[in-house]
Structure 1
């Protein structure tokens, strides 16, 4: 096995040295050459801007020449269309050195471009899992011919897929591609730092796990505790409000390019408006802004200097927005992994260091940010785990296979995914439900799409069936013919005094006319006063590890980063207020008047599991958060001890609100009990709940 430049095709080496001006490859790129040229499956692990794209593409382009691959040979999958658009010119340039071509196919690709790709396939195709699914079910794509030469699939940001249902969908589509090609296809995942890279690789291999050579390539990533002084400049400040955050951002780092991350679209809008009112050149990026608005903002930001772009996690992944000077985080992200992604956006230019300034706009967020940084300093990164029991994706895949094949044998369908669970014989109850309820029809021993599937998913040639998420209904906001973005319909129906004002794109708009049937809203410019709000279903709260780190902070542990005097004072106040809710020896049940709470500091999912298990003692609404569970007001120590006696042996899944099923796409293609069980399993943390029950608990009275 040859590593480094010596293992690459000579023409590639010539251009790497002379066109790119690289004297050598980075460690990740050098180590990846041999395994990838030899056809091994792999996960390439490196921080943001670690050269992962080249680490995958240079060896695969070399293998393409060495083995004389023809036709569509490599599929490069990304989670975001914007990331594909960003990568396309770069990969196109690399492939052109060898006389090879790169194509781009996603939801915004024109029909004429798609027809051209189908007539004359490129060597490399950049796409999304949803577009791959659409190709497989389309009558316009000759699957056998189009995918006949496929040899390798690269999955960029594989950790972003693996942690949600898009990962299950991607795995299933890759198995179906393997059936179409008639051969095993090499799988290469590119990932930011995760806590369980070997598990991630096993997951990515799908049905091929244990049968193909596979390796994690991650030089310099070993999970040892972090020395913050070697990482860069990390600082925590407490500012108390969005307005104060805007004042700090507008006065600090003038003349520099700053990327500000927020945890919600509403906060992005409010901060963007506040920065603009202070004369700061500001751009915005979030999922409810139109594609054109985001593209204009990202392009302008990439070309500007003294400016700020405010974003949700849409810019956390590897989209290039130019050379950043600073990253600023409002409050704390939900995970160490997200922090590392965001930190990695800085320090790319020679002579600069990675940096992140945290601005807490609520006092409690000082403790949660400190907890996150404490967890990071210990070398912890969250493991990526696939959501359990994806029965709704199984239902979607059974329908998709019937579409792809026109009809499928009622005994042979199981071969469609090469035995990969849960798309194996265990799916038979779901298949029976689909047949019994008209989603699939039966003709002898053959199955095909039924009337219920036609009615529910058949719009636009079944395009609604290629995406595994249900987007909440939103209204398109138009200024003349220009689309600004989308807003929550609640803002258009709530009672208001005077004109109805929206905040979108960092500007206020006065609502003129609403087209209720077509879900469109026409607006005019306004001088201020707009409101922004979006419904965010499915949020599962903080993890047990993060919640416990926050408890450690409240008990006196400080993260080894710089904290301003304001942050120190706020944290001291938080510790004083929390003195009755934390104890180093276990959990605390605290009574404050009529409010009785069990302070577990175990994370939302473990607390939801405990609340369900101890339902006889919990508040009727079973209100839980990341740190506590609300109990009945009449709970006594004796009742408490009795309930805990055998609780560990009778752990229950959390109760599921019927309204939550609407967010589980394809739930109507499942038996109601299975759809409910799927959601309950995803809301639970049985191990975390058991760990809490094994700890001592003590009663305290704050006020009588």
Structure 2
């Protein structure tokens, strides 16, 4: 046999024996990847719309946003400026998205505004330019997006970043710093998918009508986590009536029928869930879906929606069937959706943002506006939030913050681990967590010394557990542990604990 060889020009593979997997980025920059990338700070979404309408006329432009609301608001702003614009996001109907994508593929001087739905897998024809509003959350997403351009001979990949806030300018700068070093996030499966074990046990019993109570693990050839370690989950399913046991065989029980049996157990065929939405109809044509809060919140004047980049007047709401009927309106409207999943940036990206605040600039073209905004942040924000020698603990009045720049998951882990000195009512951010207002350097040292290697899983809101599909088919402690494990980042938390912490109090 011959040794395999990976051919990937410009990509530096890990040394032999290394796994290549990790969540830390090398601080040493390598040669910058090919591509024309420009970073701008425009201050608002309306200013972004003005620039997009004025720049690159006659070209086909794909604009990425990182929320459906932003897609709708930008689409409406571009349409108001008489730009030929199409929209694509997950809450638009399939027909609406298909019409937009087909029209965009056939047109020339036009813009399509999209969430990550157009990152990959959909052919939108020959693109001239990619524009990113604010910043994606990962280098992997950026690679997919910039890879939409530069496919014609004689052209290069390109991306223009239009950031609307100071924090997203910093995030985009950190992301481009990682990209310039050839770093990309490792692919890591979610830890401990116990809820999927419960789902699969129910699904295979339904499929085969019965399952041997001593042979069930053979369905997966002993593959973890579907091996004998899943016995506590099977026992819970039997005790709670999700499965019936008779003569050494398991059958679908009444509790499984009650919770998942509607429409021929269709709920067992998908492992994820989504917040409830109302279908929006204009006559018999489905436009898309909207969040129920848009229909229930008190607002002055007529109730209007923004969907598909157009304004719609609500004429009737069918609460039972979750349908809302609309007619075209001359302007205005609300675009809003609830987001699920774990929010927050990674350790690597947040640390890259810290580097930018400390003076490192991403090796891309920065406009004068972007340079001025970053310079202002380095002058006004950096002295109170970053320190080159480690982390920073600051006090402003009674507000004590530990500036870790470790990402949300690591900070949530640190807050749970250092409960004696952290504020129990806080929600950690990507860059800092709140400490007790009476904290002293001596108490801090004691708390750090008592940790050792004993890191603690983050605290879990019970609402987050309910958002985990099939959590009802798990013992409560296992459901909580499953969600907590997805919120934790032990490796990054240990890295932060290994750094020195500098106290910097006002006054």
Q: How does 1:53-452 map to 2 (within 5 A)?
A: 227-228=31-32, 231-452=34-255
Give the unaligned 5+ runs of structure 1: 3-30, 33-43, 48-191, 203-223
Q: Which residue does 2:479 correspond to in 1?
A: 675
Which whole-Å deviations, capped at 9, do the CAs of 1:671-702 have from their partners, x for residues lacking one? 0110000000110011111111110001112x
Equivalent residue, structure 1, for 2:404:
600
Q: Using the alignment, how far apart are the partners of 1:483 and 1:428 within structure 2?
A: 46
In structure 2, distance between residues paired with 1:242 and 1:45: 41
1:259–1:615 distance in 2 versus 1, CA, 3 Å = same
**Distance in 1 between residues matched to 2:58 and 2:353, nearest whole Å:** 35
Residue 24 of structure 2 is matched in structure 1 by none
Structure 1 residues 122-151: Cα deviation after superposition (integer angstroms, max 9, x where no partner): xxxxxxxxxxxxxxxxxxxxxxxxxxxxxx
1:539 Cα offset (Å): 2.6
Task: Name the CA distance, whole Å, in 1 between partners of 2:74 and 2:7.
Answer: 34
Q: How far, CA to CA, are the matches of 1:319 and 1:398 in structure 2?
A: 34
Q: Residues 201 and 375 of structure 1: is their aligned pair in 2 closer, same or farther, counting only changes over 3 Å?
A: closer
1:578 and 2:382 aligned: yes
Give the whole-Å Cα distance in 1 for the aligned partners of 2:115 and 2:19.
Answer: 25
CA contact (8 A) 2:14 2:20 kept: no
> CA distance change for structure 1 residues 448 and 193 in 2, over 3 Å: closer, same or farther?
farther
Query: How far 1:623 moved relative to its partner?
Result: 2.1
Aligned CA distance change for structure 1 residues 361 and 428 (closer, same or farther; 3 Å): same
Per-residue deviation, residues 191-240 of structure 1 (Å, max 9, x unmatched): x99999x99999xxxxxxxxxxxxxxxxxxxxx96533x61211100000
Question: Among residues 666, 674, 678, which one is paired with 2:470 in the alignment?
Answer: 666
Partners of 1:518 and 1:284 lie apart in 2 by 26
Instruction: Give 1:662 deviation, angstroms.
Output: 1.9
**CA separation of 1:194/1:270 partners in 2, compared to 1, >3 Å: closer, same or farther?**
farther
**Cα distance in 2 for residues equivalent to 1:271 and 1:392:** 38
* Matching of residue 466 in structure 1 with residue 273 in structure 2: no
Q: Which moved more, 1:611-620 or 1:423-432?
A: 611-620
Higher helix share: 1
Per-residue deviation at 1:650?
2.8
| Aligned positions of 1:620-631 closer than 5 A | 620-631=424-435
Partner Cα distance (1:273, 1:357) in 2: 20
Query: TM-score scaled by structure 2?
Result: 0.94
Task: Give 5+ residue unaligned stretches, structure 2.
Answer: 22-27
Does the CA-based 8 Å contact 1:195-1:383 persist in structure 2? no
After the TM superposition, list the runs of 4 or more consecutive aligned residues in structure 1 that deviate by more than 6 angstroms: 44-47, 192-196, 198-202
Secondary structure at the residue paired with 2:393? strand
Structure 2 Cα separation of the partners of residues 541 and 508 of structure 1: 32
Question: For each residue in 1:599-648, what CA deviation from the matched residue of structure 2 results, as whole angstroms up to 9, or x when unmatched?
Answer: 00001100000011112222232221110001222222222222111223
Secondary structure of 1:698's match? strand
SS in 1 for 2:453: helix
Q: 1:295 to 1:655 in 2, by over 3 A?
A: same
Please say if 1:610 is aligned against 2:414.
Answer: yes
CA RMSD of aligned residues (A): 2.4
- Which residue matches 2:281? 478
Q: Aligned-pair distance for 1:318?
A: 2.6
Query: For the residues of structure 1 that align with 2:448 and 2:385, how far apart are their CA atoms?
Result: 19
In structure 1, what is the equivalent of residue 360 of structure 2?
557
Aligned mates of 1:458, 1:195 — CA distance in 2: 49
C-alpha separation in 2, matches of 1:238 and 1:485: 32
Report the equivalent of 2:25: none
Contact 2:412 2:428 (8 Å CA) reproduced: yes
Alignment of 1:25-64 (within 5 A): none
SS at match of 1:260: strand
TM superposition score normalised by structure 1:
0.68
SS at match of 1:231: coil
Does residue 301 of structure 2 align to residue 506 of structure 1? no
Q: Per-residue deviation at 1:46?
A: 7.5
CA distance in 1, matches of 2:356, 2:279: 44
Give me the whole-angstrom Cα distance separating, in 2, the residues matched to 1:46 and 1:344: 15
CA distance in 2, matches of 1:518, 1:194: 54
Q: Does 1:519 align with 2:356?
A: no
Where does residue 185 of structure 1 map in the other structure? none
**Secondary structure of the structure 1 residue equivalent to 2:237:** helix
1:539, 1:270 → 2: CA distance? 24
Distance in 1 separating the partners of 2:353 and 2:20: 31
Deviations 1:517-565 (A, max 9, x none): 1101111111111111111122331111111111111000011110000
